[in-house]
Amino acid sequence: MIRAFAAIPLPDETRAALGLAQAALPLARPVPPENLHLTLAFLGELPEPLLEEVHFAFSAVHAAGFDLTLQGLGMFGTHPPRSVHAGVVENAALRHLQAKLEQAARGAGARVERRRFTPHVTLAYLNPRTTDLPRLERALAGGAGFRAGPFPVTGFTLFRSDLSRGGARHTELARYPLSA
């Protein structure tokens, strides 16, 4: 079984900007720069033949490239919050692409959860026992003006994700270009 997801990889400058945002926050375990991405479709654990079907379905997706801007910092989850993320400026082309990928993955036989797509880049997963929430909330308020981009999105990527005690390792499996 392979844990996999489709995501938009981020340009170096964007990851550098996110790195600065992470450094300004009291985060015990920031997501390392090479793992920063914007998830489009989480596929969960798949047997290899099914993942191959998803790959073929993704290869057949036609969508146009677009510009994307990251904006704002926030948390997901309450009592206690689970993660810190950078948000995304509302983007119809991104939603269109995400819907197409979800449809393609389902058409190929993958089970993709039906939840509302909230585009974001996760900056850290929080340990509820060690997080100083008031301090983190103050730091996030201080970073309210965060903005990175716009940057061009010219394709999306299929990643495999291997979890271990040291954290997740994401390996690129395939890249799919978007049209110009």
- Catalytic hit among 55, 62, 96, 120: 120
Answer yes or no whether residue 58 interacts with ligand 2AM by CB under 6 A.
no
Answer yes or no whether residue 39 interacts with ligand 2AM by CB under 6 A.
yes
Label residue 79 left, alpha or beta by phi (over 0 means left) and psi (-120 to 50 means alpha). Answer: left
**Distance in angstroms (rounded) separating the CA atoms of residues 114 and 109:** 14
Site string for ligand 2AM, 90-119 (x = CB under 6 A): -----------------------x------
Please say which residue, 168 or 174, places its beta carbon nearer to ligand 2AM: 168
96 catalytic per annotation: no
CB atoms within 10 A of CB 145: 8
The Cβ-side half-sphere exposure at 147, using a 13 Å CA radius, reads 5
Identity at 10, one-letter amino acid code? L
Among 42, 66, 151, 176, binds ligand 2AM (CB under 6 A): 42
CA–CA distances in Å: residue 122 to residues 72, 74, 76, 104, 125: 12, 10, 9, 24, 8
* CB 179, CB 172: distance < 8 Å: no
Please say which residue, 6 or 57, places its beta carbon nearer to ligand 2AM: 6
Coil, strand or helix at 144: coil
Among 69, 91, 103, 161, binds ligand 2AM (CB under 6 A): 161
Least distance (Å) between residue 84 CB and ligand 2AM: 10
Least distance (Å) between residue 5 CB and ligand 2AM: 4
CA-closest candidate to residue 158, choices 84, 51, 64: 51
Please say which residue, 138 or 172, places its beta carbon nearer to ligand 2AM: 172
The residues that touch ligand 2AM, with contacts defined as CB under 6 A, are 5, 39, 42, 83, 113, 122, 161, 168
